[in-house]
Chains A and B, each alone.
Chain A
Amino acid sequence: MLGKLIKYEFRATARHYLPIYGLILLLTLFGGITGSKLGAVSLEEGRGFWMAVLIAAYGAAVFALMVLTLVITVNRFYKNLLGSEGYLMFTLPVTTGRQIFGKLLPALAWIILSCLVVLFSALLLITKSSAADLFGQIFPAIGEACRELGVGNFLLGAVELIALGLLGTASLLLTIYLALAIGQLANEHKFLLSFGAFVAIQTLGQTLGLVVAFAGGNHSLAWLYALISGLPGSAAVHVSLLGLILGGFIICAALYAPTWFLLHKKLNLA
């Protein structure tokens, strides 16, 4: 059932994301065709006007993608689960957990894809490289990194960084979901309460972060610092990253659990 939820979620959101991806890639192509690559021309060559147009259009498209990602993320949870479409979603024979993951996983996938589209197009625009050159440079760069760090170290580090990025993004999405799940408890002004809840959760999270940091300063986490500093360089990095990943998991679980509870036990589609 989760697979079906994800399929319909992708179908509902692709119609918003794909046109803006298309626009960004079109602008990149336009940059390539007109030779307006930013690194390749100067104002003296008389292409300054096109360069300015390209920068403005590209910047606007990327900004639009960022806004769109936020709006869609909020809207899909708020309207599709907690608005009138929720009457269908919550009468499907699907568990509450799958409903949440049915929103979370596609949102994560779109964010990753958006980052890749922007990164790839920006690199193509800024450097003089063609797409083939760029891909050609990626593998030697990976080989170089492997030689310097060791294959095991490089792969483990890459996996750790990707996991950390995913957990960080998931925690932001889950914060939005929890805020909306709190907001739906109200019979009126649901969105306002959601906004307040988001600010409160963020404040609480940062306060807890500060408490942990201060606790470290007071040597209550001294054993952790001792453990890390006693390790050889690369191991210390891995232990630190794995610790951060564990922390990310705990934060995500701490945000998911109350969201599940509120949607499962306190759903209020009034």
Chain B
Amino acid sequence: MSAYDTRTAEAAYTDIMQERTEQERPPLLECRGLGKSYGRHPALRELNFTLPRGRIVGLLGPNGSGKTTLLKLACGLIKPSLGQILINGEAPGVASKKAAAYLPEKTYLNDWMRVRDIVKLFEDFYADFRSERAREMLGNLGIGEAARLKTLSKGNQEKVQLIMVMSRDAQLYLLDEPIGGVDPAAREYIVNTIIGNYNENATVLLSTHIITDIETVLDEVIFLKEGALVLNSSVDKLREESGKSVDQVFREVFRC
């Protein structure tokens, strides 16, 4: 066997092993019989699904369908009443928090802090935070780093939060209604920020009930209705099988 053949065989072996390792890796996010109740009110009912890597997934459903509850469970901010939610095969904990970046629907940063202090805080705690990226995006939006968060408009505060979250090189982005309360121009900026900043091995799970603005960027959709999973499909397959857009399917499924 020549030296060239040996190298080719080694390369092929490495490829096979990498592929096998990839297959053996636990799913990025997995729900096993996941349920959550607030008192007697069930918010999520026995969800079973996994999220693959490298996809933008729309978590879609009307208000009160359990989207926020699911994202909070993934972050460990609330605990399951039934079943499990796993990130990289582990229950939410320090390891999952290093892997996942979470954007809540409400403002959660200390509003007395200056923007540059918030950048520093993320830099201090997250090894995967890219402060140059954050500064560049803040500069593009004309948000001064010396400004205190409370002096910014609500829209700009939300953008600062999104910039902080998307400036991480996370494996999983959990974004709760990132386009919910902003104007159409800001929506476009936010969608572009999301697409432009996640790497191709990462997955974005974003919840929304405004589908038209993001439909074009979604790879997969998950429909939640009254806490239950009613659809989990790739967007291409959904369009092919139904002959309709995601928005049209959504309106049919959730018709009042």
Interface residues, chain A, with chain B CB atoms under 8 Å away = 1, 4, 8, 11-12, 15, 80, 84-88, 90-95, 187, 265-270
Determine which of B76, B95, B117, B124 lies in contact with A90 in the assembled complex, contact meaning CB atoms within 8 Å: B76
**Minimum C-beta distance from A192 to chain B (A):** 16
Q: Is the CB of B108 within 8 A of A93?
A: no
Task: Find the A residue at minimum CB distance from B117.
Answer: A11
**Minimum C-beta distance from A101 to chain B (A):** 15
Lowest 3 A-B CB distances belong to which pairs?
A: A87-B108, A93-B97, A269-B77
Q: Is the CB of B106 within 8 A of A93?
A: no
- With A84-B104, A88-B108 already in contact, 13 other A-B pairs whose C-beta atoms are closer than 8 Å: A12-B110, A12-B112, A84-B108, A85-B110, A87-B106, A87-B108, A91-B75, A91-B77, A91-B102, A93-B94, A95-B94, A267-B76, A268-B79
**Minimum C-beta distance from B118 to chain A (A):** 10
Subset of 16 A-B contacts with CB under 8 Å: A4-B125, A12-B112, A85-B108, A85-B110, A86-B108, A87-B75, A87-B106, A91-B76, A91-B97, A91-B100, A93-B94, A187-B38, A266-B79, A267-B76, A269-B72, A270-B78
Q: Is the CB of A270 within 8 A of B38?
A: yes
**Minimum C-beta distance from A3 to chain B (A):** 10
Residues of A within 8 A of B94 (CB): 93-95
Interface size class of B (residues with CB under 8 A): 20 to 34
Task: Find the B residue at minimum CB distance from A187.
Answer: B38
Interface residues, chain B, with chain A CB atoms under 8 Å away = 38-39, 72, 75-79, 94-95, 97-98, 100, 102, 104, 106-110, 112, 117, 121, 124-126
Residues of B within 8 A of A11 (CB): 117
**Minimum C-beta distance from B48 to chain A (A):** 23
Main secondary structure of the interface of A (DSSP, over half): loop
Residues of B within 8 A of A268 (CB): 78-79
Determine which of A4, A90, A95 lies in contact with B75 in the assembled complex, contact meaning CB atoms within 8 Å: A90
Known: A85-B110, A269-B72. A92 touches B79 (CB 8 A): no
Q: In the complex, what distance in Å separates the CA atom of A8 from the CA atom of B110?
A: 11
Q: In the complex, what distance in Å separates the CA atom of A90 from the CA atom of B102?
A: 11
Task: Find the B residue at minimum CB distance from A266.
Answer: B79
Determine which of A15, A84, A90, A93 lies in contact with B107 in the assembled complex, contact meaning CB atoms within 8 Å: A84
**Minimum C-beta distance from B64 to chain A (A):** 13
Q: In the complex, what distance in Å separates the CA atom of A270 from the CA atom of B125?
A: 24
